[in-house]
């Protein structure tokens, strides 16, 4: 979708990690999804070479367009994509979604949540869990237990995402570093 932002809308988007536009029609800030619930969780924000346009990559919590389409430029609806089994192809994938859930849990700290308990235990405990899961992943890999390795690697990735959030980092930070090394 295409939208207009002023400085305040961009700052709110960066702070909340949910896309907020400036509605010239309404004359106020407008958070995408405030009425429909179809929020757009920010994955990354990039500016063009002239610094006069930004591209925000998002994980949508539903259709981007009020017409029910995955994009304001698309003709097929999310419902049609679900019927064909292709609904997930407009997202960045589950790991990005999981990162958003972890960020939300860190913000809200819901009672009874395992993720909240990890945040309450602190960075050292979270780091310890990352180490434990890494060792378990390696053990299963060396043993040739593919399914068990995938299970343990999933635990490893989850705990690593919690550690990243607890230390103010994100998957985007990892991507930037990996891209820097690739050059």
Query: Are 20 and 79 in the same domain?
Result: yes
Residue 62 confidence (pLDDT): 78
Residues 79 and 85: beta-carbon distance below 8 Å: no
Mean pLDDT score, 49-75: 79
Query: Are 98 and 62 in the same domain?
Result: no
End position of a domain, from candidates 46, 63, 90? 90
Residues 5 and 54: beta-carbon distance below 8 Å: yes
- On the question of pLDDT at 156 being above 80, the answer is yes
Among the ranges given (71-80, 106-115, 173-182), the one the predictor scored with the smallest mean pLDDT = 71-80
Residue 178 confidence (pLDDT): 87
Query: Are 104 and 171 in the same domain?
Result: yes
Query: Can you name the residues that pair with 57 across neighbouring β-strands?
Result: 44
End position of a domain, from candidates 71, 90, 109? 90
Query: Are 76 and 114 in the same domain?
Result: no
Query: Can you name the residues that pair with 77 across neighbouring β-strands?
Result: 69
Query: For residue 105, what are the CA distances in angstroms to 4, 67, 91, 109, 149?
Result: 30, 31, 21, 5, 27
| Cβ-based neighbour number of residue 154 at 10 Å | 13
Dist. CA 130–CA 134, nearest whole Å: 6
Residues 137 and 108: beta-carbon distance below 8 Å: no
Question: Which helix H or strand E contains 74, and what residues bound it?
Answer: none
Pairing of strands 54-60, 40-47: antiparallel
Query: Can you name the residues that pair with 92 across neighbouring β-strands?
Result: none
| 1 within a domain of the structure (yes/no) | no
| 2 within a domain of the structure (yes/no) | no
Dist. CA 153–CA 159, nearest whole Å: 10
Dihedral, CA of residue 126, residue 45, residue 13 and residue 166, to nearest 10: 10
Query: Are 64 and 121 in the same domain?
Result: no
End position of a domain, from candidates 40, 70, 90? 90
Among 18-22, 77-81, 173-177, 178-182, the range of highest mean pLDDT: 18-22
Domain of residue 47, CATH code = 3.10.20.810
Mean pLDDT score, 147-175: 93
User: What domain range includes position 23?
Assistant: 7-90
Percent of the chain at pLDDT exceeding 90: 51
């Amino acid at each position: 979708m295409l939208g207009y932002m002023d400085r305040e809308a961009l700052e709110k988007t960066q702070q909340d990690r949910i896309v907020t536009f400036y509605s010239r029609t309404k004359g106020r800030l407008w958070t995408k999804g405030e009425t429909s619930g179809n929020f757009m969780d920010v994955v990354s924000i990039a500016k063009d070479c002239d610094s006069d346009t930004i591209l925000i990559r998002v994980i949508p919590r539903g259709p981007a367009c009020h017409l029910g389409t995955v994009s304001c430029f698309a003709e097929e609806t999310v419902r049609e994509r679900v019927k064909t089994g292709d609904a997930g192809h407009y997202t960045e994938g589950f790991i990005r979604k999981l990162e958003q859930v972890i960020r939300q849990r860190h913000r809200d700290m819901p009672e009874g949540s395992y993720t909240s308990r990890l945040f309450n235990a602190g960075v050292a405990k979270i780091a310890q869990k990352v180490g434990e899961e890494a060792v378990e992943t390696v053990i299963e890999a060396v043993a040739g237990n593919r399914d068990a390795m995938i299970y343990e690697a999933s635990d490893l990735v989850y705990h690593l995402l919690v550690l990243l959030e607890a230390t103010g980092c994100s998957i985007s930070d990892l991507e930037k570093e990996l891209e820097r090394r690739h050059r």
